[in-house]
Structure 1
C-alpha cells in the first residue's frame, strides 16, 4: 500500500509543477574566447557531441577554431579536437549542425561576422572526423546561419541572415551544391543590436518559415516559404520593445511552435510569449512575465520528460541560468528556478544549447562562456520511465524495440504524433487515424515519441528503440 501511495504522490507532483535539478556546473577551460555552442552527433555514432566556436584571446592555440567534444560510450565528453576556421583574426557569430551533402552524416556550418564575412562548412567524412573548412565569402555581414529544409525536397538548405538581406541557399540534386535567392530586409535595419533568426513551420502547412526579430525596428518579421521561394512580404508583429534574445518552441502543448522573446534592463527584465495561432495574425500575444536580471538567450525543451516544455534562459552579468516549468494548467505562473554558472558579462544568441550529452535520457545545458570556456549543467531531474508513463496516462506502445511499426493501445484516443531523435530534433510528425506508426525508414537507435490525446490535447511522451 505504501508503494502505491508513493507512486500516486509522484504522479501528482508531475501533473502540478515538476522541479528541475542539475549537478553543480562543470567548466572546461579553452584559453580562447568561446562565443557559440551547438549539440549534435558529429561523428555518426548515435551519441550527441558538443561543438564550441571560439574567437581569439591572447596567443591561445585554440584561436579562430571550433572545438569538438565527442561523447564517449560511457557518457563522458572526450578531450576536444580542434578544427580551425581561419588563420588570422576573425569573429565567429553563429553555428548550426546538419547534413549538407546528402550522405547521412551531420556537418557543421559557421557564420563569420567580421572582418571579411563568410560562411564555412566542415563536412564530416567517412572516418567520423571533419574535413578542413570550405569557406564562401559574403559581401554582407553575417548575423545568423541556420540549416533547414526550406522547400520540402528532403535536402537541407542554408539560411543566412545578413545585415541587409536574407539568403536562402537551396541544396541541389548534386550533393553539396546550392542555388540561392535573396530577400531584402526592411529599410533601416541595423546590424546592432544583432537581429535574431529562427526557423519553423509557422502556419501549419508543413513547410519551414523564417522568423526574424530586428531589435532597432522593434518588430518581428515572419516570412513564409512556398516551393522554391520565400514570400518577400512578411507578416509584421510590432513588439513595441527591443528584445535581446529570441527562440521558438511549443509552450502551450498544441504542437505549434510559439515565439519567445527576452529583454532587460535590470529590475524590469521580462520574457514575452506569443502563441502561434491559425490565421493571418500568426501570433496571439500572451504578454510578458517577470524574468531574472538581463536574460540574453532563450531555449525551449522538455527537461524532465513529462510532456511539457521548460523555458531556459542565461543571464549576462549575473552568473545564473533560470528555468521556467509549466504547471498542470499549461502556463508558467509559478516563476523560475535559479542555477549558478560561471560569470560572463553577456552571451551570444547562439551561446546556449540544450541536449542530452551523457545519454541518460535527459537534456543538459551547455553555455559558451567567453571568460572561462564551456559551462555544463548536467540534468538530474526526476523523470517518468516508459512504464510509469504507461501507468500515468494509460498508453502503451509495442513492440519495443521495433523494426517496422510501432503500435499504440490504451484507454485514451491519440490524434497525432511526433518523433524526435535524442538531440530533441523533430524528425517526423503526422495525424494518427489508426494505431500504427511506420518506423521502417529510421536508423537504428533510441527515439522519443510524442502522442497527442484527443481529450484535452495532452502530449504524452515516451521512448522506444529502433532495431
Structure 2
C-alpha cells in the first residue's frame, strides 16, 4: 500500500490534465446560444413566368374559407408591352394534408390595358365577413383603391375607394383598429402619411381619415406603450427632414369607433460616432416582464480608419419606455458588416413560445434568425435556401408568420423569387411534415451592447 501511494497524486494530476480540454470545450459550448427555433431549408412556391421577372408583392390570408393559411403573390415581367403575361398573380391554397397547391394563375392586365398599379404591398383579408379574403390594390392612376372578390379562376373588381393622396403608393393593410369586429383599410403614402378607411360592414367605408407621418418605408400596427391600444409605428430615414429614428402615433383608436385621440412622437437615433440610417421597426418583449420594447433595424457608417477602411455594420437597437412617451436605449448590437447593401426588413415574434421574442431579418432571399444571448443578441440560425436560388429584398408587407402546413405551429414565409416558406421543425405537436432542418450556424457577437442613452421627444 505504502509503495503505491506516491503514485496517486501524479495520476490524479495526469487525469485532470487529460480531462481539462474536454471541460473547457463543455464550458465553451454552454456559452453558445441555444437554438430554440428550428426551421427547414426554404421551400419555394414557384411561378412559371419568364426569368426576368420582379417578384412584387405577397399577402397571406384564408382565401377559400377553410380556416387554413393561403398565399397570393404577384410578378411583374420587365417589358414595355402591356401583354397578359406582364403582370401575373398566383394563388396557393393549403390542402388538408398540409401541402400547398396552386389554385389560380391570372393576369392583372385585361385586353392589353393596364388598369391596376404594381404595388410594394397588397392587402388580403376578409372585409365583408363571408370567411373568404378580399384583395385590395391601387388602380393604375393611383387615385383609387380597388377591392377584388374571388371569382372563377381569378379575382374580380367589385368596388373603388377614392384616395386623398397623389402617386407615391407604398403599402396597404387590413386592420381592425377600433376592435369592433369590422376591419379598416390603411393606405400608406411614402411621404404624405396614411389614409384610414373606417369599415361600416360589408364593403362600405367612411371617407378616409388622414394621419400625417414622416417619410418612411412601411409601417407597423402594434401596442408600443403597453396600454392595450394599438399604435402606428414607422422607421424614419429622411435626409430632407433631418429625421432618422422612429415615430409613433399613440392611441390610434382607443375605443371602438373612436379615431379622435392621436398623439405623434418622434424619437431620433442616439448620437454615435457614425452616421446612422433607420430601415425597419418592430415591437417585442425581451426582458420577460410583459412590457413592450421597440426594436429598430439600422445601418451605421463609421468614418474611415487608419487603413481607409469604412465599416458599415447592420445594427439592432432596443428601446424601452421608462416614463410616458420617453424611451431609453437598452441595447445596441452591431453584428454584420453589410457595406453598401441596405438592410431590408425586421419582424419580431415569439415563434418558439418561450416568452422572449426573436428577431427575424429578411434580406435578398435570406432569412436571419436572431435570438438573445445574455445581455445582447446573436444570429444563431441561417436557414439554407434551395440550390441556385436568387432572391430579392421582400417588402415588410410580404413577410408572414403563419401555420402553412397544418401542424399547429407557425412557420415563416416571405416573397423572394417565388414565395419561400421555412417550416417549423421542432413543433410541440410532434407532427413532422417536412424534412429536417439544415444545421444551424452559431455566431459569437463581436461588439458588446452599449447602454444608458436616453431619448426624448
TM-score, structure 1 as length reference: 0.66
Determine if contact 2:233/2:281 at 8 Å carries over to the other structure.
no
Gaps of 5+ in 2: 1-29, 271-275, 302-310, 431-457
CA displacement at 1:261 relative to structure 2: 2.4
Across the two proteins, how many residue pairs are aligned to each other?
A: 360
Give distance in 2, aligned partners of 1:344 and 1:264: 21
Determine if contact 2:366/2:391 at 8 Å carries over to the other structure.
no
Q: Deviations over 1:314-371 (max 9, x none)?
A: 223xx532111245x6x653433223333235332333222221112332222322xx
**Secondary structure at 1:350's aligned position in 2?**
helix
Q: Aligned pair 1:57/2:75, yes or no? A: no
Give distance in 2, aligned partners of 1:95 and 1:256: 31
Q: Map 1:52-451; keep pairs closer than 5 Å.
A: 52-58=73-79, 61=84, 63-85=86-108, 87-88=113-114, 90-111=117-138, 116=142, 118-123=144-149, 130-132=155-157, 134-138=159-163, 139-140=165-166, 141-162=168-189, 163-173=191-201, 175-186=203-214, 189=215, 194-216=216-238, 217-224=243-250, 225=252, 226-227=254-255, 228-231=258-261, 233-239=263-269, 241-264=276-299, 268-277=312-321, 279-281=323-325, 283-292=327-336, 293=338, 294-316=342-364, 319-326=365-372, 332-341=376-385, 342-344=389-391, 346-369=393-416, 372-380=417-425, 382-385=426-429
**Secondary structure at 1:246's aligned position in 2?**
strand
**Secondary structure at 2:57's aligned position in 1?**
strand
Match of 1:407 in 2: none
Give distance in 1, aligned partners of 2:286 and 2:48: 35
Match of 2:58 in 1: 37
CA displacement at 1:104 relative to structure 2: 4.2
Q: Deviations over 1:109-134 (max 9, x none)?
A: 3356x753543323358x99854363
Determine if contact 2:71/2:92 at 8 Å carries over to the other structure.
yes
Q: Map 1:447-458; keep pairs closer than 5 Å.
A: none
CA displacement at 1:214 relative to structure 2: 2.5
Q: 1:17 to 1:344 in 2, by over 3 A?
A: closer
CA displacement at 1:81 relative to structure 2: 1.1
**Secondary structure at 1:150's aligned position in 2?**
coil
CA displacement at 1:157 relative to structure 2: 0.9
Give distance in 2, aligned partners of 1:34 and 1:75: 25
Determine if contact 1:143/1:195 at 8 Å carries over to the other structure.
yes
CA displacement at 1:17 relative to structure 2: 4.4
CA displacement at 1:39 relative to structure 2: 2.4
**Secondary structure at 1:245's aligned position in 2?**
strand
CA displacement at 1:256 relative to structure 2: 4.8
CA displacement at 1:296 relative to structure 2: 0.5
Deviates more, 1:148-157 or 1:170-179: 170-179
Cα RMSD of the aligned pairs, angstroms, is 3.4
Give distance in 2, aligned partners of 1:283 and 1:109: 36
Gaps of 5+ in 1: 1-11, 387-467
CA displacement at 1:311 relative to structure 2: 1.5
**Secondary structure at 1:52's aligned position in 2?**
strand
Give distance in 2, aligned partners of 1:346 and 1:247: 18
Q: 1:119 to 1:284 in 2, by over 3 A?
A: farther
Q: Deviations over 1:208-236 (max 9, x none)?
A: 22112221121322112244225454011
Q: Deviations over 1:33-68 (max 9, x none)?
A: 212222222211011111213333347755434321
Of structures 1 and 2, the one with the larger relative CO (CA 8 A, separation 6+) is 2
CA displacement at 1:72 relative to structure 2: 0.8
Q: 1:166 to 1:26 in 2, by over 3 A?
A: closer
Give distance in 2, aligned partners of 1:283 and 1:63: 47
Give distance in 2, aligned partners of 1:348 and 1:105: 24
Give distance in 2, aligned partners of 1:71 and 1:345: 24
